[in-house]
């Protein structure tokens, strides 16, 4: 079976079921999603291709034939266990099947957002930062990097949903409804980093780069980064010293690099 493990909402997906009957004839090839049959190919029948109604399954009958089934405009309802069943013709009628899982992903509409507790940093200080990936389903993995070196996972924690919306100081709170989305099935995810900054983190010009990656099963990869600026940083233009704004491209995706904004704790 050739079934992708993860695809994006709205995609066109090609499913394939390859087999070798070792000289025997094929009676039927059927496709199932869970307990629902949605496709049957019977080469000796007057109507060799039959498509059955199934929630979340939209078969492109013109593009589907024999071993290949094409689904268009997949949705979350298209996710599930897919089974291909091959049945030999008379006289043996031997049957074999295989199952694979496909997940339909609703990716974030924008890059993650970085928030820092302040703008200027010095070696020896404890950095606190939040990285929030916007609404998606399912939730992405969040990873931190400083100067393109991955920060160990024990330096960060995922913020419980109950803490979303709690602001401190100049931070702006966000209501719980904004985080959970319609029906509570599309959630944002926030990772909170705590890291003691050391002199080697900063280059000779007096700045370091902090980055957060949001990824899920190679279906999407989006990043945001900011410059950590020391008080003696004087080589860049004033706007760059304060905000470090830019746009970069990672894996062919345009990524907005976030400005330094107040940290929500």
| All structural domains of the chain with their residue ranges | 6-105, 113-257
Residues 112-129 have pLDDT tens digits of 999 998 889 999 999 999
Give the pair of three-digit tokens for residue 17. Answer: 């079921």
pLDDT value of residue 119: 83
Residues 230-246 have a mean pLDDT of 53
Q: What φ, ψ does residue 86 adopt, rounded to 5°?
A: -110, 130
> How confident is the model over 35-74, as pLDDT tens digits?
999 999 999 999 999 999 999 999 999 999 889 999 999 9
For 6-105, CATH gives: 2.60.40.10
Kindly report which listed range (62-76, 115-129, 191-205, 233-247) carries the lowest average pLDDT score. 233-247
pLDDT band (50, 70, 90) for residue 234: low
Question: What pLDDT is stored for residue 218 in this prediction?
Answer: 82
pTM exceeding the 0.75 threshold for the entire prediction: no
Same fold, 6-105 and 113-257: yes
pLDDT at 139: 86
CATH tag, 113-257: 2.60.40.10
Q: What digits encode the pLDDT tens for the residues 92-102?
A: 899 999 999 99
């Amino acid at each position: 079976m050739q079934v992708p493990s993860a695809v994006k909402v709205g995609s066109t997906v090609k499913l394939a079921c390859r087999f070798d009957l070792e000289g025997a004839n094929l009676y039927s090839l059927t496709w199932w999603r869970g307990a629902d049959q949605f496709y049957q190919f019977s080469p000796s029948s007057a109507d060799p291709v039959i498509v059955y109604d199934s929630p979340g399954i939209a078969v492109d009958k013109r593009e589907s034939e024999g071993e290949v089934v094409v689904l268009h405009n997949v949705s979350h309802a298209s996710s599930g266990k897919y089974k291909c069943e091959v049945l030999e013709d008379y006289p043996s009628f031997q049957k074999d099947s295989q199952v694979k899982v496909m997940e339909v992903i609703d990716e974030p509409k924008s890059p993650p957002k970085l928030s820092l507790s302040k703008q200027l940093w010095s070696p020896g200080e404890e950095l606190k930062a939040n990285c929030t990936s916007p609404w998606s389903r399912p939730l992405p993995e969040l990873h931190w990097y400083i100067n393109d070196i991955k920060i160990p996972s024990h330096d960060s924690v995922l913020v419980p949903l109950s803490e979303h919306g709690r602001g401190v100081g100049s931070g702006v709170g966000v209501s719980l409804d904004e985080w959970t989305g319609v029906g509570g099935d599309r959630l944002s995810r926030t990772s909170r980093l705590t890291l003691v900054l050391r002199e080697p983190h900063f280059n000779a010009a007096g700045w370091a780069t902090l980055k957060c990656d949001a990824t899920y099963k190679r279906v999407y990869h989006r990043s945001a980064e900011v410059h950590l600026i020391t008080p003696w940083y004087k080589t860049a233009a004033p706007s760059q010293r304060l905000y470090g704004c830019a746009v970069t491209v990672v894996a062919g995706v345009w990524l907005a690099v976030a400005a330094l904004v107040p940290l929500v704790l």
